[in-house]
Amino acid sequence: MKKFLYIPALLLLAACSNKPKDKAAELADLKKQQADINSKVTALEAQVGTKEEKVTEVAVITLQPGSFTNYVQIQGKVDAQDNVTAYPQSPGTIIALNARVGQKVSRGQVLAQLDNSVIKQQIAQSEAQLSLNRTLYQRQKALWDQKIGTEVQFLQAQTTLQSSQKAVAALRQQANLYRIVSPINGSIDQMDLKLGQVAQPGTNGIRIVNDKNLKVKADVPESYSASVNTGNNVKILVPDANDSLTTRVTFAAKAIDPVSRSFAVEVKLPYRASIRPNMTAILKIADYSKSTAIVVPVKAIQRSEEGDYVFINNAGTAKRVIVKSGKTYGGQTEITSGLKAGDQLITEGVTDVEDGDKIKVTQ
C-alpha cells in the first residue's frame, strides 16, 4: 500500500520542476513573435510611406542687395600741421621773455630778446655816419644841379650814401638775430629758456603749436597700396577724447618705406577742442565699397574641399549651394557668386542639416 502512495508525490514534484522551463520557453517564443511583428510593421511602413521623417528647425533671412563697405583698420597719431620750435639765430644772454607757456601768440610776435647791446652801438654809429653821408650827398647834388663841381664828386657822394644805407640795413638785420620770433599763429607748448641764460642756436628754443590745424598720421601696409588713396572715406576714433568723425584721406604717399614696408597717409582734422596733438587715433579707411552687394553673416558659411558653401530653403528642403566669398568686415561677407536676391539663406541650424533634409522655418 505504501508503494502506491509514493507515485502521486513523485508526479507532483515533477510537475513543479517543469514550470520554470515552460515560462522561459514561452517568453522566448513571445519575443520571437514580437521581432517578427516589428519587422513586418517596418516593411509595411516603408511600403505605404507612413514612416515619420526628421524635420530640423532653422532660421532664415531673405537676401536683398545692399550696401557693403570694407575697411582697413590701423592706428595713427594726432599731429599738428603747424608745430615748430623757434630758436635764437645768434648766441646771447636772454634779457627778456615776452611770453609764457600756454599763451596764444601771433606770427611775427617777439617772444624773447637776447642781449644785443654791442650791435646796437654799431647801429648807432652807422646811423650817425649815414646821416652825415646823406647831408654831404644832398649838398653835392645841389651843387651838381647848378653845374658846380665835377660829376666824379657827385657820384662819390652818391656811392658813399648808398654804402652807408646798406651798412645800417645789414646791422639792423643782424640785430634781428638776437630776437626769437614766432613763425606761426598758435600757442606756446614748451619753453626751454630762462632769464639770464646764455642761449645757443639750435639748442634752446620755444615750441609753438597751432592746435586748430591738426591732422592724423599713420602708416598703411603696402598690401593696401592699390586700394588706399587720397580721397578715400575714413572713420576716425580718438578714444582718449571720446570723439569720432568721418572725413577723407588728404594725403597718401606713393613711395613704400623699404624698412617697414608701409606707406604714409595723412588725414586733416576739423577743429575739435577735445583733440590734442600726440593723441592716439584709430583709422578705418574704406578700401572697397559696393551699393548692390549680396551680403551674408559669416556664421552661415561652411567650408569643404569644394570651397565655401551655404544652405538655402528650397520649398521646405535644405539645399546646399557652393558660393564664392569676397571681402569680410564686421561679421558680414560679400558673396560674389552662387546666391541671388530673394534666396532664403539658412542662418540658424546650419550645422544640423544636410543637403536634402526637411526643414521647418521658425522665424
Residue 196 sits in a domain whose CATH number is: 2.40.50.100
Query: Would you list the DSSP string of 135-172?
Result: HHHHHHHHHHHTT-S-HHHHHHHHHHHHHHHHHHHHHH
Which residues 6+ apart lie within 8 Å of 358 measured at CB? 53, 54, 55, 56, 316, 317, 318
Do 182 and 110 sit in the same domain of this protein?
yes
Whether residue 324 is contained in a domain is answered as: yes
Do 106 and 182 sit in the same domain of this protein?
yes
Whether residue 21 is predicted with pLDDT greater than 50 in this model: the reply is yes
For residue 114, give the C-alpha cell.
637776447
Predicted TM-score (pTM) of this structure = 0.64
3-class DSSP state for residue 354? coil
Whether residue 50 is contained in a domain is answered as: no
Whether residue 108 is contained in a domain is answered as: yes
Could you report the per-residue pLDDT of 294-304, keeping only the tens digit for each?
999 999 999 99
What confidence score (pLDDT) does residue 45 get?
Answer: 66
3-class DSSP state for residue 46? helix
What confidence score (pLDDT) does residue 345 get?
Answer: 96
Which residues 6+ apart lie within 8 Å of 347 measured at CB? 58, 59, 60, 61, 296, 297, 299, 300
Do 76 and 222 sit in the same domain of this protein?
yes
User: How far, in Å, are 41, 248, 315 from residue 226 at the CA level?
Assistant: 69, 17, 44
What confidence score (pLDDT) does residue 2 get?
Answer: 42
188 contacts 100 by C-beta, under 8 angstroms: yes
Whether residue 222 is predicted with pLDDT greater than 60 in this model: the reply is yes
Which domain range does residue 136 map to?
A: 116-176
What confidence score (pLDDT) does residue 38 get?
Answer: 78
User: How far, in Å, are 89, 98, 177, 188, 326 from residue 191 at the CA level?
Assistant: 16, 12, 18, 7, 54
Calculate the CA 326 to chain-centre distance. 21
Strand order in the sheet with 295-297: 295-297, 332-337, 324-329
**Total domain count for the chain?**
4
For residue 7, give the C-alpha cell.
507515485
Phi-psi region of 149 (alpha: psi -120 to 50; beta: other; left: phi over 0): left
Gap between the Cα atoms of 28 and 85, Å rounded: 104
Could you report the per-residue pLDDT of 347-363, keeping only the tens digit for each?
999 999 999 999 999 86
Gap between the Cα atoms of 328 and 334, Å rounded: 7
What confidence score (pLDDT) does residue 146 get?
Answer: 86
Could you report the per-residue pLDDT of 152-161, keeping only the tens digit for each?
888 999 999 9
Mean pLDDT throughout 307-336?
95
Whether residue 20 is predicted with pLDDT greater than 80 in this model: the reply is no
For residue 358, give the C-alpha cell.
526637411
Do 340 and 317 sit in the same domain of this protein?
yes
Better pLDDT: 139 or 218: 218
Whether residue 18 is contained in a domain is answered as: no
3-class DSSP state for residue 190? strand
Do 90 and 155 sit in the same domain of this protein?
no
For residue 312, give the C-alpha cell.
538655402
Do 102 and 158 sit in the same domain of this protein?
no
Which residues 6+ apart lie within 8 Å of 237 measured at CB? 243, 244, 281, 282, 284
Do 190 and 274 sit in the same domain of this protein?
no
Mean pLDDT throughout 171-194?
91
The overall average pLDDT reported for the chain is 88
